[in-house]
């Protein structure tokens, strides 16, 4: 299969006819990223002439590191020396004229040939997990992102056959280590010195084991490290974690940073949190508008009301009317949340039958299509005793 990036229906149809039937069309770079992620064996991307050169160059630079065997063929209305030079520097394999169908086919064939040779020379690695990633986000602080993230990771890890990694991507003010009372002996900062040669083994060395099947990647201890954790580095780490775990849960900061935008690109779904107050509701609407403007797929959006209570003066129906989409879950407010946090435990660990814990399990089930129920404590006890 070939992936064609085209922002015009007419252009897409023209080049689909040229390239043949086995072509998938991505109408935006975001959609392209999802397609490539879903097709790890893909060898060719063709970029249509209406796609801006800057976009094509960024894609080439990204995949040169992330997927070296994946080739890009760039189609332009006019062939210019400056374009050819920039394309070569970015790692684009071929640049062809939009009017030369025969050359486009030939260039595509050459690129696939190079990719096949490249793939044959790569060492055969063990199959990767291709896990699912959930990004927990709110544009307003204080909505309970860390509470939801830690409890969701706990809920997913209750299935002992699955592996889970919780990522604290609030690089300046992350609280996961404090919330779970984890000694931050290792953090994401350790990746900075390895970034020139960071491989899957190095990525796996960054995490801390919290439970047998629940690991945590902690935020930096020194906020000054943030400037050295580039979007490309963060993306490589997240991609490596998806290849290593069944589930990855990302606790994001309340801001659309370049690092977080890369996390949005890689995530399979987003938990978008709000509480029942007007500042949170306003920020939720801003969040949804931003995601729409960035072309983030609506199928990934999951709006969750945290600390839901009938006494707030704003109802869930009011929220749904204001944002125009359904609320997928409500998490009740309770004193058990700060109490468990102060004990260094999740609500699921402290009181697994509590309504908050049940709501989190319901979210896990909605996301991944399986029932997540409170585990049998006797079974867990006998397991831990072995």
pLDDT tens figures, 130-156: 799 999 999 998 899 999 999 999 999
- The domain ranges of the chain are 2-121, 132-377
pLDDT tens column, 262-317: 999 999 999 999 999 899 999 999 999 999 998 898 999 999 999 887 576 788 88
CA dihedral of 141, 147, 149, 153, whole degrees rounded to 10: 170
CB 220 within 8 A of CB 53: no
Give domain 2-121's CATH superfamily. Response regulator (3.40.50.2300)
Q: Is the pLDDT of residue 385 over 70?
A: no
User: What is the share, in percent, of the chain residues with pLDDT greater than 90?
Assistant: 72
Token output for 182: 């984890």
Give the model's pLDDT for residue 83. Answer: 94
The residues, ordered by sequence, that sit 6+ positions from 163 with a Cβ below 8 Å of its Cβ are 129, 131, 213, 214, 215, 244, 245, 246, 247
Q: Please state at what angle helix 316-323 crosses helix 278-293, rounded to 10 degrees.
A: 30
Residue-level pLDDT at 377: 42
- pLDDT of 127 strictly over 50: no
Q: Which residues contact 166 (CB under 8 A, 6 or more apart)?
A: 149, 150, 153, 176, 210, 214, 215, 216, 217, 248, 249, 251
More confident residue, 66 or 105: 105
Can you list the alpha helix ranges (DSSP code H) found in the chain?
9-19, 29-38, 53-66, 81-90, 101-121, 145-157, 176-179, 200-204, 231-242, 258-266, 278-293, 316-323, 336-342, 347-350, 355-368, 377-385
Distance in angstroms (rounded) separating the CA atoms of residues 210 and 385: 18
pLDDT of amino acid 41: 86
Residue 306's beta-bridge partner residues? 331
Neighbours of 255 (CB within 10 A): 12
What are the backbone dihedrals phi and psi of residue 24, each rounded to the nearest 5 degrees, phi first?
A: -105, 135
Return the pLDDT at 375. Answer: 60
Q: Do the first three CATH levels of 2-121 and 132-377 match, i.e. the same topology?
A: yes
> Residues 247-259: what's their mean pLDDT?
95
The string of DSSP codes covering 109-128 is: HHHHHHHHHHHHHS--PPPP
What's 132-377's CATH class? alpha beta
Handedness of CA 232, 53, 79, 85 (dihedral sign): negative
Mean pLDDT value of segment 327-334: 93
User: What mean pLDDT comes out for the span 43-54?
Assistant: 95
Cβ atoms of 291 and 154 closer than 8 Å: no
Q: Rounded to two decimals, what is the model's pTM?
A: 0.78
| pLDDT of 379 | 38
Q: Give me the chain's average pLDDT, please.
A: 89
Question: 126 phi and psi, to 5 degrees?
Answer: -65, 145
Highest mean pLDDT out of 293-297, 348-352, 368-372: 348-352
Compute the CA torsion angle 11, 17, 23, 26 (nearest 10 deg). 10
pLDDT band at 382 (very low <50, low <70, confident <90, very high): very low
- Asked if residues 319 and 272 have their Cβ atoms less than 8 Å apart, the reply is no
pLDDT tens per residue, range 202-250: 999 999 999 999 999 999 999 889 999 999 899 999 999 999 999 999 9
């Amino acid at each position: 299969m070939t992936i064609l990036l085209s922002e015009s229906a007419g252009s897409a149809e023209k080049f689909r006819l040229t390239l043949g039937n086995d072509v998938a069309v991505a109408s935006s770079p975001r959609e392209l990223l999802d397609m490539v992620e879903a097709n790890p064996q893909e060898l060719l991307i063709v970029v249509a002439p209406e796609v801006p050169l800057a976009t094509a160059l960024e894609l080439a630079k990204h995949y040169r590191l992330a997927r070296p065997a994946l080739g890009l063929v760039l189609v332009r209305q006019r062939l210019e020396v400056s374009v050819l030079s920039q394309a070569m520097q970015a790692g684009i394999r071929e640049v062809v004229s939009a009017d030369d169908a025969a050359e486009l086919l030939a260039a595509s064939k050459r690129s696939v040939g190079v990719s096949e040779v490249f793939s044959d020379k790569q060492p055969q690695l063990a199959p990767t997990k291709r896990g699912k990633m959930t990004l927990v986000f709110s544009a307003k602080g204080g909505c309970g992102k860390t509470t939801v993230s830690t409890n969701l990771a706990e809920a997913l890890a209750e299935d002992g056959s699955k592996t889970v990694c919780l990522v604290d991507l609030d690089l300046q003010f992350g609280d996961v280590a404090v919330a779970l009372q984890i000694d931050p002996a290792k953090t994401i900062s350790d990746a900075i010195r390895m970034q020139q040669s960071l491989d899957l083994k190095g990525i796996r060395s960054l995490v801390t084991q919290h439970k047998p099947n629940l690991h945590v990647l902690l935020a930096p201890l020194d906020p000054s490290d943030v400037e050295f954790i580039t979007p490309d580095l963060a993306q490589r780490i997240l991609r490596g974690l998806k290849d290593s775990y069944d589930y990855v849960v990302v606790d994001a900061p309340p801001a659309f940073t370049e690092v977080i935008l890369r996390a949005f690109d890689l995530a399979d779904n987003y938990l978008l949190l709000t509480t029942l107050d007007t500042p949170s509701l306003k920020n939720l609407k801003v969040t949804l508008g931003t995601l729409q403007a960035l072309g983030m797929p609506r199928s990934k959006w999951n709006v969750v009301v945290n600390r839901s209570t009938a006494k707030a003066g704003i109802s869930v129906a009011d929220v749904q009317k204001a944002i125009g989409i359904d609320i997928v879950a409500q998490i009740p407010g309770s004193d058990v949340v700060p109490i468990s946090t102060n004990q260094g435990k999740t609500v699921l660990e402290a009181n697994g039958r509590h309504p908050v814990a049940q709501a989190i399990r319901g979210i896990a089930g909605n996301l991944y299509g399986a029932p997540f129920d409170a585990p049998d404590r006797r079974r867990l006890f006998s397991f831990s005793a072995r």
